[in-house]
Amino acid sequence: MAADRLDEVLDAAYDCLTRYGARRTTMDDIATTMGVSRSAVYSILGIGYGAFALGFGISFWQALAAGVVGIVFSFLLCGFVAVAGKRGSAPTMVLGRAAYGVHGNRLPSVISWVLTVGWETVLCALATMATATVFGRLGWGGGTETKVVALVLVGALTVVVGVMGFDLIMRLQTLITVVTGVLTVVYVALVADHIHWSAVSAVPAGSAQEFIGALVFMMTGFGLGWVNAAADYSRYLPRTASSRGVIGWTTFGASLAPLLLLVFGLLLAGSSGDLAEAVAADPIGALTTILPTWFLVPFALVAVLGLVGGAVLDIYSSGLALLSAGLRVPRYVAALIDGVLMIVGSIYIVFVADDFLGPFMGFLTTLGVPIAAWCGIMLADLALRRRDYGEPDLYRPTGRYGDVPLTPLLLTLTATALGWGLVTNSTAAWLDWQGYLLHPLGLGGRSGPWAYANLGVLTALALTFAGTLTLHRGRVHEQEKQTPSPATDQGAPL
pLDDT bin (cut points 50, 70, 90) of residue 171 is low
CB–CB of 59/204 below 8 Å?
yes
Give residue 323's pLDDT: 79
DSSP class of residue 101?
Answer: -
Euclidean distance between CA atoms 56 and 266, whole angstroms: 12
Q: Helix 331-351 crosses helix 144-164 at what angle (to 10 degrees)?
A: 160
First-to-last C-alpha distance (Å) of the chain = 20
Across the range 120-141, mean pLDDT stands at 83
CATH of domain 2-489: 1.10.4160.10
Give residue 40's pLDDT: 44
Cβ-Cβ contacts under 8 Å for 257 (sequence gap 6 or more):
36, 39, 40, 42, 46, 181
- Mean residue pLDDT across the chain: 83
Euclidean distance between CA atoms 194 and 271, whole angstroms: 7
Q: Which tens digit of pLDDT belongs to each residue from 379-434?
A: 999 999 998 898 889 988 988 999 999 999 999 999 999 999 999 987 778 888 99
Euclidean distance between CA atoms 213 and 429, whole angstroms: 21
Across the range 104-116, mean pLDDT stands at 90
CB–CB of 454/372 below 8 Å?
no
Across the range 152-180, mean pLDDT stands at 72
Task: Pick the more confident residue, 374 or 41.
Answer: 374
Give residue 462's pLDDT: 97
Euclidean distance between CA atoms 120 and 349, whole angstroms: 12
- Given a cut of 60, whether residue 4 has pLDDT beyond it is no
- What is the sign, positive or negative, of the torsion defined by CA atoms of 326, 374, 155, 89? negative
Q: Which tens digit of pLDDT belongs to each residue from 56-73?
A: 999 999 999 999 999 999
CB–CB of 38/261 below 8 Å?
no
Cβ-Cβ contacts under 8 Å for 312 (sequence gap 6 or more):
158, 161, 162, 169, 172, 173
Q: Which tens digit of pLDDT belongs to each residue from 198-251?
A: 999 999 999 999 999 999 999 999 999 889 888 887 888 888 888 898 999 889
Euclidean distance between CA atoms 293 and 136, whole angstroms: 11
Task: Pick the more confident residue, 250 or 10.
Answer: 250
Euclidean distance between CA atoms 214 and 364, whole angstroms: 12
| Sequence letter at residue 421 | G
Residue-range domain boundaries for the chain: 2-489
Euclidean distance between CA atoms 102 and 95, whole angstroms: 9
Euclidean distance between CA atoms 394 and 401, whole angstroms: 7
Euclidean distance between CA atoms 176 and 299, whole angstroms: 13
